[in-house]
Amino acid sequence: MQFYDFSFKTLQGLDYSLASAKDKVCLVVNIARKCGYTPQMNELQKLHEEYRDRGLLVLGFPSNSFLFQEPGDSEEILCAYEADYRIDFPMMEKSSMLPIGMNPLFEWLSSVQPNSEAHGLIKWNFTKFLIDKQGQVRFRFGPATTPIQMIPQIESLL
Protein backbone atom coordinates (compact mmCIF):
# COMPACT_ATOMS: atom_id res chain seq x y z
CA MET A 1 0.00 0.00 0.00
CA GLN A 2 1.15 3.53 -0.77
CA PHE A 3 -0.06 6.93 0.43
CA TYR A 4 -1.80 7.62 -2.88
CA ASP A 5 -3.81 4.37 -2.73
CA PHE A 6 -6.15 5.55 0.05
CA SER A 7 -9.61 7.03 -0.51
CA PHE A 8 -12.13 8.53 1.89
CA LYS A 9 -15.41 10.37 2.17
CA THR A 10 -15.27 14.03 3.12
CA LEU A 11 -17.48 15.50 5.83
CA GLN A 12 -19.68 16.66 2.92
CA GLY A 13 -20.04 13.02 1.78
CA LEU A 14 -17.90 13.43 -1.36
CA ASP A 15 -15.34 10.87 -2.53
CA TYR A 16 -11.75 11.98 -1.91
CA SER A 17 -8.76 10.07 -3.26
CA LEU A 18 -5.25 10.81 -2.05
CA ALA A 19 -4.16 10.20 -5.65
CA SER A 20 -5.25 13.82 -6.17
CA ALA A 21 -2.46 14.85 -3.78
CA LYS A 22 0.37 13.66 -6.05
CA ASP A 23 3.14 16.24 -6.32
CA LYS A 24 1.97 18.00 -3.14
CA VAL A 25 3.38 18.04 0.36
CA CYS A 26 0.63 16.74 2.65
CA LEU A 27 0.09 17.48 6.31
CA VAL A 28 -2.21 14.79 7.72
CA VAL A 29 -3.68 15.40 11.20
CA ASN A 30 -6.17 13.59 13.41
CA ILE A 31 -8.32 16.25 15.05
CA ALA A 32 -10.95 16.61 17.78
CA ARG A 33 -12.95 19.72 18.72
CA LYS A 34 -13.07 19.15 22.47
CA CYS A 35 -9.33 18.49 22.86
CA GLY A 36 -6.96 20.86 24.63
CA TYR A 37 -4.92 21.01 21.41
CA THR A 38 -7.88 22.19 19.32
CA PRO A 39 -6.58 25.80 19.14
CA GLN A 40 -4.00 24.34 16.72
CA MET A 41 -6.82 24.43 14.15
CA ASN A 42 -6.11 28.16 13.74
CA GLU A 43 -2.48 27.38 12.87
CA LEU A 44 -3.47 24.56 10.51
CA GLN A 45 -5.77 26.95 8.64
CA LYS A 46 -3.01 29.58 8.57
CA LEU A 47 -0.55 27.07 7.08
CA HIS A 48 -3.19 26.07 4.54
CA GLU A 49 -3.72 29.68 3.49
CA GLU A 50 -0.04 30.61 3.38
CA TYR A 51 1.37 27.49 1.71
CA ARG A 52 -1.35 25.99 -0.50
CA ASP A 53 -0.17 27.92 -3.55
CA ARG A 54 3.30 26.48 -3.01
CA GLY A 55 1.96 22.92 -2.87
CA LEU A 56 0.99 22.19 0.76
CA LEU A 57 -2.22 20.24 1.31
CA VAL A 58 -3.60 20.07 4.86
CA LEU A 59 -5.93 17.11 5.51
CA GLY A 60 -8.02 16.83 8.68
CA PHE A 61 -9.33 13.54 10.04
CA PRO A 62 -11.80 14.02 12.90
CA SER A 63 -11.73 11.26 15.49
CA ASN A 64 -13.76 10.52 18.60
CA SER A 65 -11.29 7.86 19.78
CA PHE A 66 -9.74 9.66 22.73
CA LEU A 67 -12.10 10.62 25.57
CA PHE A 68 -14.96 11.18 23.10
CA GLN A 69 -13.60 14.60 22.13
CA GLU A 70 -15.17 14.67 18.63
CA PRO A 71 -18.90 14.09 19.17
CA GLY A 72 -21.59 14.50 16.56
CA ASP A 73 -22.20 13.56 12.96
CA SER A 74 -20.45 14.85 9.84
CA GLU A 75 -22.72 17.86 9.40
CA GLU A 76 -22.31 18.97 13.01
CA ILE A 77 -18.53 18.54 12.87
CA LEU A 78 -18.22 20.45 9.59
CA CYS A 79 -20.42 23.31 10.78
CA ALA A 80 -18.50 23.63 14.03
CA TYR A 81 -15.06 23.78 12.38
CA GLU A 82 -16.26 26.22 9.73
CA ALA A 83 -17.90 28.47 12.34
CA ASP A 84 -15.23 28.31 15.04
CA TYR A 85 -12.06 28.19 12.91
CA ARG A 86 -13.18 29.06 9.34
CA ILE A 87 -11.59 25.84 8.13
CA ASP A 88 -11.62 25.36 4.37
CA PHE A 89 -9.04 22.60 3.90
CA PRO A 90 -10.30 19.06 3.18
CA MET A 91 -11.80 17.27 6.16
CA MET A 92 -12.67 13.59 6.04
CA GLU A 93 -15.45 11.71 7.80
CA LYS A 94 -14.90 10.83 11.44
CA SER A 95 -12.77 7.73 11.87
CA SER A 96 -11.14 5.61 14.55
CA MET A 97 -7.54 5.96 15.69
CA LEU A 98 -7.77 2.93 17.99
CA PRO A 99 -6.02 -0.33 17.06
CA ILE A 100 -9.30 -2.17 16.39
CA GLY A 101 -11.09 -0.51 13.48
CA MET A 102 -8.34 2.05 12.90
CA ASN A 103 -8.56 4.29 9.86
CA PRO A 104 -6.45 2.38 7.27
CA LEU A 105 -4.38 5.46 6.40
CA PHE A 106 -3.41 6.00 10.04
CA GLU A 107 -2.69 2.30 10.43
CA TRP A 108 -0.28 2.63 7.50
CA LEU A 109 1.17 5.93 8.77
CA SER A 110 1.70 4.38 12.23
CA SER A 111 3.76 1.58 10.72
CA VAL A 112 6.27 4.04 9.23
CA GLN A 113 8.96 5.39 11.56
CA PRO A 114 10.31 8.56 9.90
CA ASN A 115 11.79 10.04 13.10
CA SER A 116 11.99 9.30 16.79
CA GLU A 117 9.83 12.15 18.13
CA ALA A 118 6.69 10.03 17.88
CA HIS A 119 6.23 6.50 16.66
CA GLY A 120 3.94 3.49 16.87
CA LEU A 121 0.19 3.70 17.37
CA ILE A 122 -1.64 7.01 17.51
CA LYS A 123 -1.74 7.93 21.19
CA TRP A 124 -3.73 11.18 21.12
CA ASN A 125 -5.42 13.81 19.01
CA PHE A 126 -3.37 16.14 16.80
CA THR A 127 -0.70 13.65 15.83
CA LYS A 128 0.74 15.07 12.61
CA PHE A 129 2.40 13.47 9.59
CA LEU A 130 4.26 15.30 6.82
CA ILE A 131 4.28 13.46 3.50
CA ASP A 132 6.64 14.53 0.70
CA LYS A 133 5.72 15.06 -2.96
CA GLN A 134 6.51 11.40 -3.72
CA GLY A 135 4.10 10.09 -1.06
CA GLN A 136 6.78 9.18 1.50
CA VAL A 137 6.25 9.88 5.21
CA ARG A 138 9.09 12.21 6.10
CA PHE A 139 8.16 13.52 9.55
CA ARG A 140 5.85 12.60 12.40
CA PHE A 141 5.04 15.01 15.19
CA GLY A 142 3.29 14.47 18.50
CA PRO A 143 0.28 16.50 19.63
CA ALA A 144 2.31 19.12 21.53
CA THR A 145 4.22 20.18 18.41
CA THR A 146 2.29 23.07 16.95
CA PRO A 147 1.80 23.46 13.21
CA ILE A 148 3.84 26.69 13.23
CA GLN A 149 6.78 24.81 14.78
CA MET A 150 6.71 22.54 11.73
CA ILE A 151 7.40 25.33 9.21
CA PRO A 152 11.11 24.46 8.76
CA GLN A 153 10.22 20.86 7.84
CA ILE A 154 7.38 22.03 5.56
CA GLU A 155 9.73 24.48 3.83
CA SER A 156 12.33 21.75 3.34
CA LEU A 157 9.79 19.60 1.47
CA LEU A 158 8.23 22.31 -0.71
Reported as a pLDDT band with limits 50, 70 and 90, residue 114 is: low
CATH number where 7 lies: 3.40.30.10
Catalytically annotated residues = 35
Instruction: Check if the beta carbon of residue 98 is closer than 8 Å to that of residue 124.
Output: no
Nearest to 90 by CA among 149, 155, 153, 31: 31
Cα–Cα distance, 39 to 137 (Å, whole number) = 25
Instruction: Specify the pLDDT at position 115.
Output: 59
Cα–Cα distance, 109 to 150 (Å, whole number) = 18
Write the pLDDT tens digit of every residue in 48-64. 999 999 999 999 999 99
Q: Which residues contact 4 (CB under 8 A, 6 or more apart)?
A: 17, 18, 19, 21, 22, 135
Q: How far, in Å, are 58, 132, 139 from residue 114 at the CA level?
A: 19, 12, 5
Q: Which domain holds residue 28?
A: 3-157
Look at the pTM and tell me if it is higher than 0.85.
Answer: yes
φ, ψ dihedrals at 137, nearest 5°: -70, 120
Q: What is the residue-averaged pLDDT of the chain?
A: 92
Q: Quote the percentage of the chain above a pLDDT of 90.
A: 74
Write the pLDDT tens digit of every residue in 13-59. 999 999 999 999 999 999 999 999 999 999 999 999 999 999 999 99
Spacing of C-alpha 40 from chain mean position = 12
User: How many domains is the chain partitioned into structurally?
Assistant: 1
Instruction: Specify the pLDDT at position 120.
Output: 74
